[in-house]
Amino acid sequence: MRITDIIMLSLLVFMPPVEVHAQAEGKSTLILDFPLIDLPYQLRAADAKGNFITGYIHPGMPQSLALSNNLVTSVHYGIGRIVQIDEGWIDFLVENTLATGFYFLQSGLPFGIVWLHEEYHKAVLARYGMDSFNEVYTFPFFKDMIKVSHVKDENLIHLSDNKPADFVRLNAAGAEAQIHQVMTLQAYSFYYDQSLPNLPFYWLSIFNNFAYIFSCTQNEDWEENINELNAKEVHIKDRDFTGPDFTAWVYKLFRPNVSYQARGTHPSGTGIDRYIRPSQLTSEEKEYLAGVAFKHLLNFVSPFMVGIRKIRISSLSGDEHVFNFALRHVLTSFGESICLDLYYQGMGYNLMVSPHIYQNYTTTFFGLELALIDKPIFSHALRISGRLMVWTQPEAQSFTTSEPRVGGLMGIKLAYKTGIWEPYLEWEAKSRGWVIGNVFLDENFSGRVGLVIRLP
């Protein structure tokens, strides 16, 4: 029996009765997050563009995630405000149909999901002062492949040969972004009673991730495409930084010590032949990649995925407890991460508990995450959030080692609410290790300043 089945069965047996609140219930507030300063990341991004102001063209992972969430939730909020149908199921159907149409429209827009996917790639480069360009800014509607271009060969050589774990993470970061966004939208819907038509977004984003990962095991899907790209991309600046994300990801996982220049010369005769074709992968590499693709379907295991935002439980004492859960699967710098996010509201607290499993090729490692969300202190206006993680992950982020490295993260956020405005300060310290949405694999202390706007 799976752990989720055990949890659900236990809750049904020991804590009845249960009231389910579905996505269609009520209308929501709109929460807009603007992380204005993110240090030291932005100092690295400034190196990529020349100064601090122009460095904003390379937003960090928290910044790009917030901006993309702002676009998605604003449109979904608008749909909910415009569609006012008394018949609940018709209202639900119309809202989610419109949200589905918007999903395909925003894929070619700045701040949409494809933009976010590419910005997570770019953040890994900018963290080392390397410049790049997100071609979503050219509004590439209906293009099969959207690039992160204007990346120098010498930067890729340096990252691959000197920072192999970061190079692996670079290739998987786009898929990481999409799961991170789904996680954030689901958490907002739970803790802030956001009844937005997010359901199509969850399904399409996760399925597109799965389909993209699995396609990288199929020779015919990429062979002709790469040949066409190589014929057109005579100039280095026009080339994508990697081509198919996951052929490059698994290739470097299995061959961490192979020099980037060993890929050979580009067919044009200028620069390095960057794109790894599925036909270049060994059967072992393809088998591993197909395995993690199917494990990515674990991201569908959640009541959120069928429109259930909250499950309410009334205890014998009359107290109300609210919970939900979601399984997550993410590709990492050493292999993969699987976690079970457990959400809880009750007794004046918003809490999250998440056991983590980290897997490389040979060994399973474990971690635990705890979070407190928006707890009022001293007055209702001042709120504190906190996050604590402990883990063992592979030594040196290695794909093959069985040696564990103990690590952790601690974060604190203080926010002050005055009207619709909510300025905040956030600090986060971590040891070496991979954390979703944190671009640093080594030790890091980050500070952020931002502003949240809450609209009724």
pLDDT band at 411 (very low <50, low <70, confident <90, very high): very high
- Quote the pLDDT of residue 425: 98
Whether residue 38 has pLDDT greater than 90: yes
User: Stretch 19-48: mean pLDDT, rounded?
Assistant: 79
- Quote the pLDDT of residue 317: 64
Give, in degrees to the nearest 5, the angle at Cα 443 between 438 and 446.
Answer: 55
Compute the mean pLDDT over every residue in the chain, rounded to the nearest whole number.
Answer: 92
pTM of the prediction? 0.92
- Give the residue among 348, 426, 344, 419 at the shortest CA–CA distance from 385: 426
Whether residue 277 has pLDDT greater than 60: yes
Pick 316 or 285 by higher pLDDT: 285
The answer to whether 441 touches 451, Cβ cutoff 8 Å, is: no
Range in 115-124, 213-222, 281-290, 334-343 the model is least confident about = 213-222
**CA–CA gap between residue 53 and residue 50 (Å, rounded):** 9
* Domain boundaries defined on the chain: 3-455
**CA–CA gap between residue 76 and residue 407 (Å, rounded):** 38
**CA–CA gap between residue 430 and residue 40 (Å, rounded):** 13
Buried b (16+ CB within 10 A) or exposed e, 108-127: bbbbbbbbbbbbbbbbbbbb
Whether residue 19 has pLDDT greater than 60: no
**CA–CA gap between residue 33 and residue 371 (Å, rounded):** 19
User: Stretch 167-186: mean pLDDT, rounded?
Assistant: 98
Pick 107 or 330 by higher pLDDT: 330
The answer to whether 223 touches 279, Cβ cutoff 8 Å, is: yes
User: Stretch 210-234: mean pLDDT, rounded?
Assistant: 93
pLDDT band at 209 (very low <50, low <70, confident <90, very high): very high
Whether residue 302 has pLDDT greater than 80: yes
Q: Which amino acid is present at 198? A: N
**CA–CA gap between residue 172 and residue 165 (Å, rounded):** 11
DSSP states of 35-104 = EEEEETHHHHHHHHHSSTTGGGGS--HHHHHHHHHHHHHHHHHHHHHH---SSHHHHHHHHHHHHHHHHH
pLDDT band at 43 (very low <50, low <70, confident <90, very high): very high
Q: Which amino acid is present at 37? A: I
Whether residue 3 has pLDDT greater than 80: no
User: Stretch 48-77: mean pLDDT, rounded?
Assistant: 95
Q: State what percent of residues in the chain have pLDDT above 90.
A: 83
- Quote the pLDDT of residue 1: 32
pLDDT band at 319 (very low <50, low <70, confident <90, very high): confident
The answer to whether 393 touches 365, Cβ cutoff 8 Å, is: yes
pLDDT band at 452 (very low <50, low <70, confident <90, very high): very high
**DSSP letter assigned to residue 265:** B
- Quote the pLDDT of residue 24: 40
Q: Which amino acid is present at 455? A: L
Whether residue 26 has pLDDT greater than 90: no
Buried b (16+ CB within 10 A) or exposed e, 390-429: bbbbbeebbbebeeebebbbebebebebeeeebebebebe
- Quote the pLDDT of residue 28: 61
Whether residue 45 has pLDDT greater than 70: yes
Range in 52-56, 300-304, 341-345 the model is least confident about = 52-56
Give 420-435 pLDDT, tens digit per residue: 999 999 999 999 999 9
Which residues, 6+ apart, have CB-to-CB distance to 205 below 8 Å? Answer: 113, 178, 181, 182
Which residues, 6+ apart, have CB-to-CB distance to 154 below 8 Å? Answer: none
Whether residue 361 has pLDDT greater than 50: yes
Angle between helices 61-82 and 88-106 (to 10 degrees): 140
